Amino acid sequence: MSLRLKLLALGLATLVLPWAGCRYAREMESALREGELNSLQAVSQTIAASLQGRTDLLYREALPADSPAAGLTAAATSPPGAAAAPPAAPAPTGPATPAATTSAAAAASVAASAVSALEPLGPYDLAPLALTAAPLIDGYSDDWPRDPAAWKTFSKDEQHSFRILTGVYERMLYVLLEVHDEHPVYDAGGRNPLDPASYGDRVWLGIEDPRGGEQQVFLASTGPGSVSARRIEPGEYGEQSAPLEPRIRGAWQPTPEGYRLEIRVPLSMVGNRFGVLVDDRDARGATPVSYGTLRSDDLRTLGRLIVAAPELDTYLAQFMQPGLKIAVLTPAGQVLARADALTQGSGLGRETPGLARLYRRFVDRPGERQLIEADAQIYDRDHLQVIGRLEATQTADRWIRLRDHALTRMLNFTLSTTLVAVILMFAFAAWLAVRLARLRRASESALTRSGLVTSFPETEARDELGDVARSFATLLGRLNEYTSYLRTLAGRLAHEIRTPLTIVRSSLDNLEAEQVSESARTYLARARQGSERLNAILRAMGAATRVEEAIGSAERVDFDLVPLLNSAVAAYRSAFPGRTFSAQLPAGPVTLHGAPDLIVQMLDKLIDNAVDFSPAGSTITVRLLAPAQRAVIEVDNSGPPLPAHIEGRLFESLWQSRPDGDSRPHFGLGLYIVRLIAEFHGGEAAAQNLEGGGVRVSVRLGALIAR
């Protein structure tokens, strides 16, 4: 793992910031949620308190005249226009009459404020649904809520039954009636609606009006479609008339089982009691089978209608705000009224942008409810009895948006911090890596250059890397001193040995001038041979130094390599008759700026080397190439391949790999001199084994001079 990657990983550790941010956002969200819940709780408590004792609103029961709460709540909560009239409306009429007549027993046993509507639902009681939209009066049930539990079924026997669904929407009571009738019979219609001969199937509505009086309305259809209602009016002479009741609208549709009747009754007509009776006739004018929630003999209502005052909706509406839903329920859980603005936008701004939506994924726990709910009990005037329940539901919209807003800003900030940190760290790592690489290159090249370390990078830096570089520089400086000592050792050694050798040789020279015996002369000759060899060794030891000196003082001229190589190869042919020389030279001139003497000297060493290592009679090829405006001299011989271990050391000083038994002194300087001369010309030397056997030494020289 490179330094760059490590620091990059370290930079990624700053991702803990956004992570912590997400955690924080979650905490914040919980706190917000808690706060919202509390305030929702408070709101519902407040609304519930404002509804305390308001049975007139909840159940359309008149308030007792002496109720202190009545005036108070009306004054405190009267919304403009909505609640001004309703509380006042039932008050002037005698409030005691209906309560006394309908539920005298309950009123007697419980306190004066007891609410008759709170008695458990009897079999004939109807509790309309709080509808969310007005059903179209067309005789079809598809715009009603699909809630099987809300239906109530009344039956006479196997063949005679109907089920009824009631609902309230905006001051209207809606009734959906599905009657099981094997022989639906339409009314004859037309003439007198009270003529018994014209009677078909009829549906009676028993309505207790707000004043306590009972009223009977019947709907009789002469065909599918809209049906009108007629109310029974007692006439002056005991006669009855049946004028049209235009406030009630109905629609009649046949069904496979019988017929369906959809009715709309204004709530203003309806008091606390309401009932339905079905007259099922099998033929026109026949005796009907009557059943339902009206007494079949006098059509008095049997059951109550548990429905809130229409003003309750208006009353609740004043508390509405987007994203809030308030519902008032009976203690049993039936919805009396609701105001719903859950789906409305909160007005806190447009839908969050894509980035925020992405962030939200980090924070949102799956399956978490996005709604908060609170409820509060509604008590009666004396705070003794629970008369209803208030449920408030609020969408998470408000705090989610608040949270998203904060989250987006925070994540934007921390992520950009991370990004900057990562970029900075990466750049820093790259910079460090560059410095280290520079150091590494310098230290690598420092040692290969025969100890010629001149300067070392990064020694000016004030950090630890600078310290390392400085100690490297010190180390290399010492190494340099040592290597230069070693390098000059040969020369110095040669110099020191030369003096005693001169003593030996001059003594031998003198001895030859003396009279010595023949046998002594043999030894003399051997001593001379030995001293000559010693002399040759000394000369070879000094050769590298002399070449370096020669290179140092060499003058550069422009010269053509082709005639130079030609003449040199011709010379080698005569100098080494045991080898065949082949020169492969380009036709045109190859002009180089350099020292021709040194080039020839280099060539001498290359040829010497090639001759030494190639078998007698073999061919040595000298080739001059000029690829890419650089001169390359190659010398191929067919000698044994280079051992793998000497690669790269071939051109070092005092290194050689020669077959044993060579008596000539060698110090491995030949190819070192080649290298020195190649470097003088801005090039380098390399050796490689040839595929077909043999070795190629190639010397790359500097750039050619353009003609």
Partner 1 sequence: MKRLVAIVEDEAAIRDNYAAAFMREGYAVRCYANRVQAMQAFAARLPDLAVIDISLEEEPEGGFELCRQLRALSAELPIIFLTARDSELDAVSGLRLGADDFLTKDLSLPHLLARVNALFRRVDALRKPDAAAEVIRRGPLSLDAERMQAQWDGQVVLLSLTEFWIVHALARHPGHVRSRQQLMDAANVVLDDNTITSHVKRIRRKFQSIEPNFDAVQTVYGMGYRWVE
> What is the binding site for partner 1 (CB under 8 A)?
495, 498-499, 501-503, 505-507, 509-510, 513, 535, 538-539, 542-543, 545-547, 549-550, 553, 564, 567-572, 575, 596-597, 600-601, 603-604
| Shortest reach from residue 502's CB to partner 1, in Å | 4
Which string of DSSP letters, residue by residue, matches 656-675? ----TT--S---S-HHHHHH
- The packing angle between helices 397-448 and 354-363, to 10°, is 90
Tell me the closest approach of the beta carbon of residue 10 to partner 1, in angstroms. 59
Q: Which of 262, 246, 266 is nearest to 254 (CA)?
A: 262
Instruction: Report which DSSP code applies to 305.
Output: B
Q: Is 203 helix (H, G, I), strand (E, B) or coil?
A: strand
Instruction: Select 66 or 514, whichever has its Cβ closest to partner 1.
Output: 514
Nearest CB to partner 1, comparing residues 121 and 497: 497
Residue 597 or 612 having the CB closest to partner 1: 597
Q: At its nearest, how many Å lie between partner 1 and the CB of residue 622?
A: 11
By beta-carbon proximity to partner 1, the closer residue of 171 and 539 is 539
Q: For residue 214, which phi and psi values (nearest 5 degrees)?
A: -100, 145
Residues sharing a CB contact under 8 Å with residue 225, sequence separation 6 or more, in sequence order = 139, 251, 252, 253
Closest to partner 1 by CB, 2 vs 499, is 499
Pick the closer one to partner 1 by CB: 77 or 601.
Answer: 601
Minimum Å distance from CB 707 to partner 1? 21
What residues have CB less than 8 Å from 328, skipping those under 6 apart?
51, 58, 308, 312, 316, 335, 336, 337, 338, 378, 388, 389, 390, 391
376, two tokens: 């509060």
Q: How far is the CB of 553 from partner 1 (least distance, A)?
A: 7
Q: Which residues contact residue 600 at a Cβ distance below 8 angstroms, ignoring those fewer than 6 apart? A: 564, 568
In 3D space, the residue among 1, 19, 14, 2 whose CA is nearest the CA of residue 423 turns out to be: 14
Q: Is 667 exposed, middle or buried (0-12, 13-18, 19+ CB in 10 A)?
A: middle
18 CB contacts (<8 Å, ≥6 apart)?
362, 410, 411, 414, 415, 418
Q: Least distance in Å: CB of 532 to partner 1?
A: 9
Distances (CA, A) of 74 to 237, 316, 488: 45, 14, 118
Give min distance, CB of 634 to partner 1, in A.
17
Of 423 and 570, CB closest to partner 1: 570
**Is the distance from CB of 318 to CB of 311 less than 8 angstroms?**
no
CA 544, 548, 553, 554 torsion-angle sign: positive
As measured in angstroms, the least distance from the Cβ of 545 to partner 1 is 7
- Cβ proximity to partner 1, 277 vs 673, nearer residue: 673
Q: How far is the CB of 595 from partner 1 (least distance, A)?
A: 10
Nearer to partner 1, 473 or 676 (CB): 676
